[in-house]
Amino acid sequence: MITRINHITYYTDLHSAYIQFLGCNFNCPWCIRKLTPWDHHLSNNELAKLRFQGLLSMDEFLGIIDNAITKYGLEEVVLGGEEPTIDPTLPIIIKELNNRRLRIKLLTNAYEINNQLLNELRSCIDCRVVIGIKTLDPNKHIKYTGKPLESVLRNIKQLLENGVKVIFETVLIPGLNDANDIEEIAKYLASIVKEPILIIDPLIPIPGTPWRKPTQEEINETMNRASKYVKVVMHEKIGKPSKIIVLYP
Ligand code: SF4
């Protein structure tokens, strides 16, 4: 059985593996993957050495995970990269990781959550789903991602109704998803979930796109305004820097 996993890195100090899936059902112009298809936290030297070596089979993937548990004391896995939910084997991957008693974080745009995946997430005590909300403006959503917002909001509600632990993430993009927009996102989250958590990522600009990096003032203003409704977390403040090992390819 072939998965859509093409890259795995391991953060030694965090005991956490970042498992990257290839392909996405959205087409966001600011996607960090347009800078590099690999984990962008790796050094330029490491990045230069990486070459695509194919998608992993389920057995190969589980072999890498079991080895990381034995050799490095792996405790947590983050499923991300592009969009894990487009991998039909994702429910099996989650089941296998859950059987190994690993903490699981699934990063997703929540556009496609099928029943098999929902069931797996419902029964997984150590799973957290991190949903990236691009914008709450339906016109901008379809213009920039290529897909309607409606399905994302419907799936968020479905996950919450089924007791899945969900946190949210959005990218601060001056002129597209700025302090006003993120305050609206925060207000919306406070209306649908108790004690919502929102991770705010300042944009890393992609050459050839019109959006710039937000200033520190813009970041502070966005945090202050969103904090009225949600607990705000900034990505660079999560955890400490860690040594990174490439487990695949
Ligand atoms: S949903 Fe995420 S991975 Fe997919 S295109 Fe948008 S930013 Fe990139």
Mean pLDDT of 20-44: 94
Q: How far apart are CA 129 and CA 132, in angstroms?
A: 10
Model confidence at 144: pLDDT above 80: yes
- The pLDDT score that the predictor gives to residue 116 is 97
Per-residue pLDDT band for 159 (boundaries 50, 70, 90) equals very high
Q: How far apart are CA 116 and CA 181, in angstroms?
A: 33
Q: Which residue has the higher pLDDT, 235 or 181?
A: 181
CA of 225 to the centre of ligand 1 (A): 25
Cis preceding-peptide flag for 205 (omega within 30 of 0): no
Give yes or no for a contact between 166 and 128, defined as CB atoms under 8 angstroms apart: yes
Mean pLDDT of 237-245: 71
- The pLDDT score that the predictor gives to residue 240 is 57
Using a pLDDT cut of 90, give the percent of the chain over it. Answer: 96
Per-residue pLDDT band for 236 (boundaries 50, 70, 90) equals low
* pLDDT, the chain, mean: 95
Model confidence at 187: pLDDT above 80: yes
Q: How far apart are CA 243 and CA 91, in angstroms?
A: 30
- The pLDDT score that the predictor gives to residue 200 is 97
Candidate of 82, 113, 143 to mutate for ligand 1, largest count of ligand atoms within 8 Å of Cβ: 82
CA of 27 to the centre of ligand 1 (A): 6
Burial of 85 (0-12, 13-18, 19+ CB in 10 A): buried
List the residue whose alpha carbon is closest to atom 6 of ligand 1.
28
List the residue whose alpha carbon is closest to atom 8 of ligand 1.
31
Beta bridge partners of 106: 79, 129
Model confidence at 214: pLDDT above 60: yes
Beta-strand pair 5-11/16-21: antiparallel
- The pLDDT score that the predictor gives to residue 165 is 97
Model confidence at 237: pLDDT above 70: no
pLDDT digit string, tens, across residues 70-94: 999 999 999 999 999 999 999 999 9
Model confidence at 157: pLDDT above 70: yes
Lowest mean pLDDT among 29-43, 186-200, 232-246: 232-246
Verify whether ligand 1 is closer than 6 Å to residue 247 (CB atom). Answer: no
Task: Classify residue 21 as left (phi > 0), alpha (psi -120 to 50) or beta.
Answer: beta
- The pLDDT score that the predictor gives to residue 242 is 82
Model confidence at 176: pLDDT above 90: yes
CA of 121 to the centre of ligand 1 (A): 21
Verify whether ligand 1 is closer than 6 Å to residue 28 (CB atom). Answer: yes
- The structural domains of the chain, ordered by start, are 5-248 (3.20.20.70)
pLDDT digit string, tens, across residues 106-138: 999 999 999 999 999 999 999 999 999 999 999
CA of 73 to the centre of ligand 1 (A): 30
- The pLDDT score that the predictor gives to residue 234 is 84
CA of 132 to the centre of ligand 1 (A): 9
CA of 95 to the centre of ligand 1 (A): 24
List the residue whose alpha carbon is closest to atom 7 of ligand 1.
31
List the residue whose alpha carbon is closest to atom 3 of ligand 1.
82
Q: CA torsion 173→176→177→178, rounded to 10°?
A: 70
CA of 85 to the centre of ligand 1 (A): 12
Verify whether ligand 1 is closer than 6 Å to residue 27 (CB atom). Answer: yes
pTM above 0.75, yes or no: yes
Verify whether ligand 1 is closer than 6 Å to residue 24 (CB atom). Answer: yes
What atom in ligand 1 is closest to the CA of residue 27?
5
CA of 24 to the centre of ligand 1 (A): 6
Q: How far apart are CA 156 and CA 193, in angstroms?
A: 10
